[in-house]
Amino acid sequence: MQCIDAVFEELQRIVLECELPEFQRFVNLRDSIFEVVKSVLKKCLQPANQMIVNLIQIELAYINTNHPDFIGGSNAIGTSLGHGYGPTAGASSVGGGGGGTVVRRRLGIGRPFNFST
């Protein structure tokens, strides 16, 4: 999460470099504006951090069904039971047609995945 801190520090540096000629006349206004911008950045830091954590969890939960090592659906059951079920026995791939169905763990964000479609 070092990237979050680096972006936060860079945004603060950019704010300090945004100097208008009017700010030289009104020093208190400049200081107040900078304080407000810094507080907004600090307020957004935690939600941004949580969003990045959620995105990382989503990526880790991704199952690539197009990978050659992926055994899907009836192939997994057949392999574990030793029955020899496979694509030649009329079984279809996971997701109907091998389109790369994405299965994600419920992370408490968004809507739950609807398996009935």
Q: What is the pLDDT of residue 83?
A: 62
Is 34 inside a domain boundary?
Answer: yes
pTM more than 0.85 = no
- Kindly report, residue by residue over 46-96, the tens digit of the pLDDT: 999 999 999 999 999 988 877 777 777 767 777 777 765 555 544 444 444
Q: Are residues 71 and 56 in the same domain?
A: no
Q: Are residues 54 and 80 in the same domain?
A: no
Average of per-residue pLDDT values in the chain = 76
Q: How many domains does the chain have?
A: 2
The range of the structural domain enclosing residue 93 comes to 63-101
Q: Are residues 45 and 74 in the same domain?
A: no
Q: Please state the rounded mean pLDDT for residues 9-36.
A: 90
Q: Please state the rounded mean pLDDT for residues 33-49.
A: 94
Q: Are residues 40 and 67 in the same domain?
A: no
Tell me what percent of the chain is helix, strand and coil, each rounded to the nearest 5.
Answer: 55, 0, 45
CA–CA gap between residue 59 and residue 61 (Å, rounded): 5
Please answer whether residues 106 and 113 qualify as being in contact, where contact means their C-beta atoms are separated by less than 8 angstroms: yes
CA–CA gap between residue 112 and residue 68 (Å, rounded): 28
pLDDT at 31 over 70: yes
Share of the chain above pLDDT 70, in %: 68
Q: Are residues 71 and 45 in the same domain?
A: no
